[in-house]
Structure 1
Amino acid sequence: MTSAPRLLIVDDDPEITSALARGLALHGYAVETLNRAESALIELRDPGYSAAIIDVMIGPDSGIDLVRAARAAGARMPILMLSALSEVEDRAAGLEAGADDYIVKPFSFDELTARLKVQESRAAATRPAPARLSADRTLSTDTRSVALTDREYALLDLLARHPGTPLSRGEIFDALWASDGSGSENVVDVYVGYLRKKLSPASDFGFEIKTLRNRGFCLDGLPPRPPHQGLTT
C-alpha cells in the first residue's frame, strides 16, 4: 500500500496554514504545519518529507534565512516559498537561498499544486535509490555492500527508523543494551565508531551518522530501507 507523501508547511498565519493544509490533504498529502523557524529547521532535515512550503516571513523570523540554514544543514527536499513580495530582487533572494520555486500571493491553489508536483517530479528523477538492509545483516547499494554484526545492524536499523531525529545515548542504550545488563552507555559510542568505519566513505551509502552536541546521534541523508519495507510508488 502506497503511503501519502508528507508535506511540511511553515507559516505563522493560522488562516493561510489551515487553508493550505486542508486543500493539500484533499490532494493526497499528509500535511504537517509549523509556525516557528527554530522547530522548522529541525523538521527540514527529515528526509521523509516529499517537499516543504515556507513563507518568506515567519513572525519575526526570515523564511529566506530558514531556507539557507536548512540547505546548509543538508536538507534536500524541494522547497517552495510563498510571499507577498513580488519584486525581482525578492524572488532572486529566495532562489539564491536554496528555494526551488517562489510563488507570489495571492496565488491560485491549482497553480500551487501544479508547481509543487513539478518540483517533486524533478527531485524524484535525481534521487538515488536508498541503501538496503537485508535480513542477513548486509547493507548494500548497487555498487557496494558491507556485512554488519548483530549489534551494528540493530543500531543502524534503530537510527534508520527515526530519520533526521536525534536519539540520545540513553535512548539507544535502553533499546539495545540495557536488557543484557551492560553497564555503560559508552558502548553506544563504541558501536557508532564501528559503523562509521565500516561505512566510510559515507557518500557510498547516501547517509552518514551525525553526532549532535547534547542531543545524541541521527542519520543525515537518505536512510537505508529495512528488509521488511517495500518501495513505495
Structure 2
Amino acid sequence: MSTPKRILIVDDDPEITSALARGLALHGYDTVSEHRTDAALARLRAESMGAAIIDVMIGADSGIDLVRALRAEGIGLPIVMLSALSEVEDRARGLEAGADDYIVKPFSFDELVARLKVQERRARTDAPRRARLDPATRKVIGRTRDVVLTEREFALMLLLASHAGEALTRGRIFDTLWAGEGTSSENVVDVYLGYLRRKLDPAADFGFEIKTLRNRGFMLDGSAPEIAQPHDK
C-alpha cells in the first residue's frame, strides 16, 4: 500500500495543529502546519500535498477565503474544513467556496481519517490523465486533444519534459539542440519555443505550460508528460 502524501493543517492555534498532527501521525499521516492564510497559500503554490485541513477562522483571516483563493488558482487538492460553527449556512459557505467536506468540532480522529481517505480516493479517481509524448509519431497526446510536432519541435519538447521543474537556460538548450549544426544565433530557441506555445495553447488541454523565468531560462511547469517507450501500446 502506498504511503499517504503529507497533509497541510491550517489553524492559528498551535495547540490544535499539534493535536491534529499527533492524531494523524497515529494513522500513518505526515503533516505540516501553517498558522496564517498567506503562508498556507504560498506553501500550496510551491508544494504538492495529499490534502489540506483548514479551520474556518484563522485568527483575523477567513479559512473560507483561503479555500476560495486556492480554487481560483486551480489548486485542486482535497480540502476538509473544520469549524465549531454547525449552522447549515456556515457549512454551505465552506462547500460553496470549494471545500470537499466540512466537519464540526468536536469530532473523532477516526471520523476525520475516514473522510480524508474518501477524499483521497475521489481525487485519484477524478485526476485527469497526464499528457504523453510519443516519439514514434512526434505527437503530444493531451487530455482533450493531440498535436503533431515537427522533428525540431519534438526534440525541444522532449528536452523540456526530461527536465520538468528545472529551469534550462537559452544557452543550454541551444548547445543541446542546435550548436552542432552550425546555427549561429541562440534566437532560434525563442522561435521554437514560440511554435510550441502556440501549438500547446490552451495549456489546460495538456496539463502543463512552458514558463519563462527571468534571468534563469525556461521551464516546463505543471504535470509533466509521460514519455512513451518503444514497447508501449
Tell me the residue number matched to 2:20.
20
Compared with structure 1, are the counterparts of its residues 78 and 138 closer, same or farther at alpha carbon in structure 2 (3 Å cutoff)? same
The more displaced of 75-84 and 12-21 is: 12-21
Q: Match for 1:97: what amino acid?
A: A
CA contact (8 A) 1:45 1:74 kept: no
2:141 touches 2:147 (CA, 8 Å); kept in 1? yes
Scaled by the length of structure 1, the TM-score of the pair is 0.72
Partner residue of 2:168 out of 168, 172, 186: 172
Instruction: Give the match for residue 117 of structure 1.
Output: 117
**Aligned partners of 2:207 and 2:224 also within 8 Å:** yes
Name the residue aligned to 1:219. 221
Give the direction of change, closer, same or farther, for the CA distance of 1:10–1:218 in structure 2 (3 Å limit).
farther
| Cα distance, 1:112 vs structure 2 | 0.4
Do the aligned residues in 2 keep the contact of 1:211 with 1:218 (CA within 8 Å)? no
Which residue does 1:231 correspond to in 2?
none
Instruction: Tell me the residue number matched to 2:158.
Output: 153
**Structure ranking higher on relative contact order (CA contacts 8 Å, 6+ apart):** 1
The corresponding residue for 2:198 is 197
Secondary structure of the residue that 1:49 maps to in structure 2? coil
Note if 1:80 corresponds to 2:80. yes
State the 1:226 CA deviation. Answer: 5.7
Quote the Cα distance in structure 1 between the aligned partners of 2:123 and 2:78. Answer: 7
- What letter matches 2:86 in structure 1? S
Count of aligned residue pairs for this structure pair = 218
Aligned match of 2:146 in 144, 147, 151? 144
Aligned match of 2:105 = 105
Q: Is the 8 A contact 1:172 1:188 kept in 2?
A: no
Task: Give the letter for the 2:146 counterpart.
Answer: R
The Cα shift of 1:209 comes to 4.3
Structure with the greater alpha carbon radius of gyration = 2
* Partner AA of 1:140 in structure 2: I
Distance 1:18 1:212, change over 3 A: farther
**Alignment partner, residue 91 of structure 2:** 91
Q: What do the CA deviations read for 1:39-66 (whole angstroms, capped 9, x no partner)?
A: 3223334683222111112222211101
CA contact (8 A) 1:37 1:58 kept: yes
What is the identity, as a one-letter code, of the residue corresponding to 2:141? S
Q: CA deviation at 1:107?
A: 1.1
Residues 210, 218 of structure 1: 8 Å contact kept: yes
Q: Is the 8 A contact 2:24 2:109 kept in 1?
A: no
Give the deviation of 1:197 after TM superposition.
1.8
Cα deviation for residue 75 of structure 1 reads 1.2
Residue aligning to 1:206: 207
Is residue 49 of structure 2 the alignment partner of residue 44 of structure 1? Answer: no
Q: Cα deviations across residues 110-159 of structure 1 (Å, max 9, x unaligned)?
A: 00011111122222222222123467776434763544433332224434
Cα distance change of structure 1 residues 57 and 199 upon mapping to structure 2, 3 Å threshold: same
Distance 1:211 1:35, change over 3 A: farther
TM superposition shift of 1:78: 1.3
**Residues 210-230 of structure 1 deviation map (CA, whole Å, 9 limit, x = unaligned):** 67999986634x4434679xx
Contact 1:47 1:75 in 2 (8 A): no
Give the CA RMSD over aligned residues: 3.8
Tell me which amino acid in the other structure corresponds to 1:206: G
SS in 2 for 1:8: strand
- Change in CA separation of 1:144 and 1:193 when aligned onto 2, cut-off 3 Å: same
